[in-house]
Structure 1
Amino acid sequence: MSNPDKKPLRVLFCIGVTQTFFDLPASGIKTVWAGVGEMLKGMNSLPGLTILGTMDDDQVMVGASHAFPWTCYILADVDSVETVTAACNLFRVTEVGEHRLWRYLRVEARMGRVLEVPA
């Protein structure tokens, strides 16, 4: 599904940390964070995706997040649903040791449009 009017989609990537992450020893947590860094680099390099900002709730959110409130968020302008799908797929393909990133983090993308207040 492309974006026929060519206005960017405003996308909020909501990321939750799973209990599997919290079950890891300290050395495993470092490996996951390296995977998160790779995923963010991959997302930032996707053509048609511009990261506008991030927010991390880790100081006031403790433990696994199964739904809202999520652990962290990425706000981006994205050119198409296909690019949003490619960004989400990074959680499936980014290797973290013997596993993939989605073992430790989950993602949900909320898509909308820029809120334009009429003059």
Structure 2
Amino acid sequence: MSDTKALRVLFCMGINQNFFDAPRDEQLQVWAAFSQMWNGIHDLPGVKVFGNMDDDQSMVGPSAGYPWTTYLLADVPDIASVHAACNLFRSTPVGDGTYKLWKYCKVEARTGRELIIQR
């Protein structure tokens, strides 16, 4: 029997220029799609979300990389589940479905393990 540990994953998410260039009604559709994706990560089997952090008040403009716009920290059962979470950016429709969420934002999954300090 193997004793597999969950992966500790920091999902780093960045909003890109397409979002900022979009008209307000399209931005609201992106926000609805982002909410759907966010809830989709929470709903993946075996995923335990610990929390999130949003940089939107101290960071202005698009995120090409660090610092990211928002972060979600979770334990995820396996790498396939990490990939499924990232795939939500590719598959979540915005508005009428002409575009998917990844037109407006990106994700990078930093995958590791829980650091346990022995005393």
Deviation >2 Å, runs of 4+? none
Does the residue aligned with 2:109 lie in a helix, a strand or coil?
strand
Partner SS for 1:47: coil
Counterpart in 1 of 2:55?
Answer: 57
Per the normalisation by structure 1, the TM-score is: 0.94
> Which segments of 5 or more consecutive residues in structure 2 lack a partner in the other structure?
none
Give 1:100's aligned residue: 100
In 1: Cα distance, 2:22 partner to 2:33 partner: 14
Q: Distance in 1 between matches of 2:108 and 2:10?
A: 8
Give the one of 77, 100, 119 matched to 2:75: 77
| 2:12 aligned partner | 14
Aligned-residue offset at 1:50: 1.1
- Once the two structures are overlaid, the 10-residue window that deviates more, 72-81 or 40-49, is 40-49
Deviation digits for residues 23-76 of structure 1 (CA, Å, limit 9, x no counterpart): 011111110000011101111110021111010000001000101000000000
Q: Residue 89 of structure 2 corresponds to which residue in structure 1?
A: 91
Structure 1 unmatched runs, 5+: none
Q: What do you get for the CA RMSD once the two structures are aligned?
A: 0.9
- How far apart in 1 are the matches of 2:84 and 2:46? 11
Counterparts of 2:87 and 2:99 in 1: how far apart (Å)?
A: 14
Displacement of 1:88 in angstroms is: 0.2
What secondary structure does 2:12 align onto? strand
SS of equivalent residue, structure 1 residue 106? strand
Alignment of 1:24-63 (within 5 A): 24-63=22-61
Q: Distance in 1 between matches of 2:49 and 2:118?
A: 25
In 2: Cα distance, 1:37 partner to 1:5 partner:
34
TM-score, normalized by length of structure 2? 0.94
Q: How many angstroms does 1:80 deviate by?
A: 0.2
Tell me the equivalent position of 1:113: 113
Q: Take 2:24 and 2:111, find their aligned partners in 1: how far apart are those partners?
A: 35
The alignment partner of 2:29 has SS state of helix
